[in-house]
Amino acid sequence: MLAMDCEYGQLGSGGWGMSNTKLELPPLCQTWDHYDAFSSRLVKGLLSPEPDYVFCGLGTNDPGLDITRITSAGAAVRKACGNASVFCVVPPLGLHRSEIQAAVSARRQAGDSRVHLIDLAALERAFALARVPRRGL
């Protein structure tokens, strides 16, 4: 993390979803501001310490589900860390591209110039090919 002059902290794990309530973990929209079911990450409504960068790369575990709550979650994250640069990543398979693009557009139209879209469309074909079952050797 030397290039970004920052420390790394993770607020999620593999298998987490934006909306999917059928996974082992509750969805991000319900949990991003907590360490666990009882302990808030917020101090007087703010993340402390405030992050410099926030990356949201969810959506792969929510196929076919409505993730439009990402727009309200983005507003809540912004309120909790008003100075952070926020990057919303479209999953490599392109899942939920339109919803994520719409959420970023909504934040930018609301005057948030520090929210950005990272679209991994260039990787989509390679990831789709990697998912094709291969016959035994």
54-109, pLDDT tens digit by residue? 888 877 778 788 887 777 888 888 899 999 999 999 988 888 899 899 989 999 99
Identify the burial level of 81 via C-beta atoms within 10 angstroms of its C-beta, where 0-12 means exposed, 13-18 middle and 19 or more buried: buried
Does residue 11 sit within a domain?
no
Asked if the structure places residue 1 within a domain, the reply is no
Tell me whether residue 112 is in a domain. yes
pLDDT at 123 over 70: yes
Domain range for 98: 16-130
Where is mean pLDDT largest: 14-18, 49-53, 126-130?
A: 49-53
Query: Quick check: is 3 in a domain?
Result: no
Asked if residue 116 belongs to a domain, the reply is: yes
Dist CA 51 CA 49 (whole Å): 6
Segment 23-45 mean pLDDT: 84
The C-alpha atoms of residue 70 and residue 5 are separated, in whole angstroms, by 28
Rounded average pLDDT over 27-38: 82
For residue 59, being part of any structural domain is answered with yes
Residue 28 has pLDDT above 90, yes or no: no
**How many domains does the chain fold into?**
1
The answer to whether the CB of 102 falls within 8 A of the CB of 116 is no
Q: Which candidate, 10, 30, 117, places its Cα nearest to that of 72?
A: 30
* Bond from prior residue into 49 cis (ω within 30 degrees of 0): yes
How much is the mean pLDDT over the chain? 82
Q: What is the pLDDT of residue 56?
A: 85
> Is 80 exceeded by the pLDDT of residue 11?
no
pLDDT (0 to 100) of residue 10? 66
Helix (H) or strand (E) holding 47: strand 46-47
pLDDT(33) > 70: yes
Q: Residue 118 in 3-state DSSP? A: strand
CA distance 15 to 28: 11
pLDDT of residue 46: 95
Confidence label for 133 from pLDDT (cuts 50, 70 and 90): low
